[in-house]
Amino acid sequence: METLEEAELCFPQLLNTSCRKPVQHRADTIFLYILLSCISLLTVALNLLVIISISHFRQLHTPTNLLLLSLAVSDFLVGLLLMPLQILFVGGCWFLGSLMCGLFYYASFILTTASVGNMVLISVDRYVAICDPLCYATKVTQKRVQICVCLCWTCSVFYNGVILIDFFKHPNQFNSCYGECVLVINFITGAVDVLLTFVGPIAAIIVLYMRVFVVAVSQARVMRSHIAAVTLQGSVSVTAKKSERKAARTLGVVVVVFLMCFCPYFVLSLVGQHMSKSVAFSFLWVWLLYCNSCFNPVVYAFFYPWFRRSMKLIVTFQIMQPDSCDTNIM
């Protein structure tokens, strides 16, 4: 018969109410701790570089980059707050109490919703830039983008507060033993939440980017057919259009990576899988969703020369020099 010592209770002093630790190989557990800790540190470091770059260099103070800054802030917080707390689940026990459990889920929902909202705003920005370039400067201003970003975060905070209000009133109602941190949302609330925070926004993103790429391909054909007749002024216009299309392609990659990371979790949640039912499901798909926060700055490093230049200036501390914020890095 299994003894209490062999059961490895999360809280040995609570013999009758403590959860049991899952049976794990020590080497595998250590490997997971190291791997996930490295992902967390990398996510924090890379997104911090994006935040410093866009905040410091005046040349990067554009409406599009302001949206990237908002996305980088949410990704940075994922790496700084959510990933370290999620690592605790590797051991199978939650040691931080019911209050921190509730705050963890609240922060997770806020950052996830804010990331989706930022992606929608980025798609709208590229749609206007490519499909209505003559009116882009008047329609997409710094002030309007700031308002949209603030609304995105504010709505995320209040919306998820409403979703989790019952959970905050009774944070332990779904825990079967002491040492668990479990959230269960009823089917109707969960379905509405998935529709509002995933299906609807994803549909909008896909439609907008399909339109963007159709128009971009059309513009490329027109420019190739008239390339010989371009004047000096037209050359500048062509260069600007190429720059906009390149930005659209880069941000398109960001959106595709976002869909690959977010879709499995939300789709399987919608069809009835739940993280309280399967620890392996929760661990795998939640971390895939979180890893999107690490992938975004990696995409920037591959596709944005300005990000590579700014990283070099930051890590070599050249941004500490006077007037470094006016450096030409484009």
CB burial class (10 A; 0-12, 13-18, 19+) of residue 274?
A: middle
**128-165 exposure pattern, b = at least 16 Cβ within 10 A, e = fewer:** bbbbeeeebeeebeeeebeebbeebbeebeebbeebbe
pLDDT of residue 149: 96
pLDDT of residue 5: 44
The answer to whether 181 touches 95, Cβ cutoff 8 Å, is no
| pLDDT tens digit sequence for 212-239 | 877 777 766 666 665 555 544 444 455 5
4-326 topology per CATH? Rhopdopsin 7-helix transmembrane proteins (1.20.1070)
Percent of the chain with pLDDT over 90: 29
Q: Which residues contact 200 (CB under 8 A, 6 or more apart)?
A: none
pLDDT band at 62 (very low <50, low <70, confident <90, very high): very high
pLDDT of residue 222: 67
pLDDT band at 243 (very low <50, low <70, confident <90, very high): low
pLDDT band at 7 (very low <50, low <70, confident <90, very high): low
Taking the CA atoms of 267, 194, 35 and 99 in sequence, report the sign of the dihedral they define.
negative
What angle separates helix 279-303 from helix 232-270, to the nearest 10 degrees? Answer: 170
Percent of the chain with pLDDT over 70: 82
Q: Is the pLDDT of residue 324 over 60?
A: yes
Sequence spans of domains, the chain:
4-326
Q: Give the rounded distance of the alpha carbon of 246 from its chain centre.
A: 22
| pLDDT tens digit sequence for 272-288 | 544 444 455 567 778 88
pLDDT of residue 274: 45
Q: Give the rounded distance of the alpha carbon of 78 from its chain centre.
A: 7
| pLDDT tens digit sequence for 104-127 | 999 999 999 999 999 899 889 988
pLDDT of residue 74: 95
Q: Is the pLDDT of residue 244 over 70?
A: no
Tell me the CA distances in angstroms from 81 to 7, 21, 41, 106, 180, one per residue in order. Answer: 30, 24, 11, 12, 19
Radius of gyration of the chain (CA): 23
- Per the prediction, the chain carries an average pLDDT of 81
DSSP category for residue 23: P
The answer to whether 312 touches 52, Cβ cutoff 8 Å, is no
Between 223 and 10, residue with greater pLDDT: 10
pLDDT of residue 224: 62
